[in-house]
Copies of this chain bind each other. A is one copy, B any other.
């Protein structure tokens, strides 16, 4: 199993079919392969050897697709960098991965001097820019200057990519995925037969640096067809691309689906070519599902759940499952390439309906964290990747995610899931955002504690919020204490940093806690 296999197959079977359509630019599979082989040659000339890391910091583009394949072709390892990170975070990941080359697009070219200062010996290549900054190379010049090289033909358990994750729980870790990892997840998703149209057109609107989009990218490559790429998500841009280019498949997160369905920018577009809508990150609400089904009557819905460490798919909620009321909050069940279980802290499987940690085993489990053997050993035990997600499984094997394991609270012997309390709190009109954590309590062991940002001009007391919650969830789950703050600490990816909240709660006893 090797990532370039799909490229060879596409060139053999459909050389003149568009591989990519981006900003009106069409490149066939034959052209794509030609550019990939030249880019691999250029990387070699830049000193990239087998197993060396090559990073990319760019918005979505056709070059992004070519880059991933070219790095695999050269038997190097790609490092797709999160475009939302700070320069310091980016520099950390480049240094940690020991990247030799960084490809950036015009939008990030200005960062090159600073990154070159911070990461010694880093060669940088700019694509799609008007002029490369001092000390950087131009990708099109490189392509013109270098001959194509043959495919190195590596695959199987050889590392193909490193994806950096985290930030909410400490320093970012590099997730090392092999060729076999990525192809296994792609084939397993495709094997359902309802994931993606064979030979169709997949729209990349989610960021290509994230493996959620990468999962769809891999399945599309396996099945042949065309990548339609937009630089990033806007409801109008996505709707227009679907209408004008006859897009058949798209991967979105629920927020994007909601914007696509509700935005006036998308309202007049004909979206009837869409056959498969894949979404991840969270279940979709019944109301949104209904609105979306009306807007996209021909589209089948698949929810994918997993994580980067699972390449990334572990469970799938099929189109048929979406018709089952009892599965509204489900994340799906083990995909054709995966095994999934719910286990307790001693790694014993728990009975159905009992909350524990979601673990998964199979050919999609990462090789490990880059240069972090101890963290790898802690996460992957006896072949099972421990997701850190708390959830339960029903009698038919469907998984329901309730919370991150570390965010679960045990209060008075009862399990409380912070996500459930946060959902209840968020329904109060005065609450702009909130986070719920457990704090030590002499009477209850842990106490349910809420950190709340009020909406501008709104007011609410702790008692009011407690009473509000008790209307929606069991009284023992309602926050026993509430802390009002101006803003929640967020990670680069926009996730609430609960560890900071916990630390701050203890370090700052003066704060108004009622």
Residues from chain B with Cβ under 8 Å of A194 in the complex: 193, 198
Copies of this chain: 2
Which of A117-136 touch B at CB < 8 Å?
none
* Residue tally, chain A, CB below 8 Å to B: 40
Nearest CB of chain B from residue A75's CB, rounded to whole Å: 14
Q: A5-B339, A363-B156 are in contact. Are A191 and B222 (CB under 8 A)?
A: yes
Most buried by B among A9, A198, A222, A382: A9
Q: Is the CB of A334 within 8 A of B193?
A: no
Residues from chain B with Cβ under 8 Å of A180 in the complex: 1, 180, 363
Q: A1-B337, A198-B192, A336-B222 are in contact. Are A12 and B187 (CB under 8 A)?
A: no
Nearest B residue to A320 via CB reads: B198
Residues from chain B with Cβ under 8 Å of A14 in the complex: 396-397
Nearest CB of chain B from residue A276's CB, rounded to whole Å: 11
Docked CA distance A417–B1 (Å): 34
Q: Is the CB of A397 within 8 A of B333?
A: no
Asked if A183 lies at the interface with its beta carbon under 8 angstroms from chain B, I say yes
Nearest B residue to A5 via CB reads: B339
Docked CA distance A80–B12 (Å): 36
Which of A183-198 touch B at CB < 8 Å?
183-184, 187-188, 190-194, 198
Asked if A231 lies at the interface with its beta carbon under 8 angstroms from chain B, I say no
Asked if A223 lies at the interface with its beta carbon under 8 angstroms from chain B, I say yes
Cβ 8 A contact of A339, one of B9, B156, B361, B382 = B9
- What are 27 sample pairs from A and B whose C-beta atoms fall under 8 A apart? A1-B180, A1-B337, A5-B339, A5-B362, A6-B336, A8-B339, A9-B334, A9-B397, A12-B333, A12-B334, A14-B397, A153-B382, A183-B363, A184-B187, A187-B187, A187-B191, A187-B337, A190-B190, A190-B193, A190-B336, A191-B191, A192-B193, A193-B193, A194-B198, A222-B336, A222-B337, A223-B336
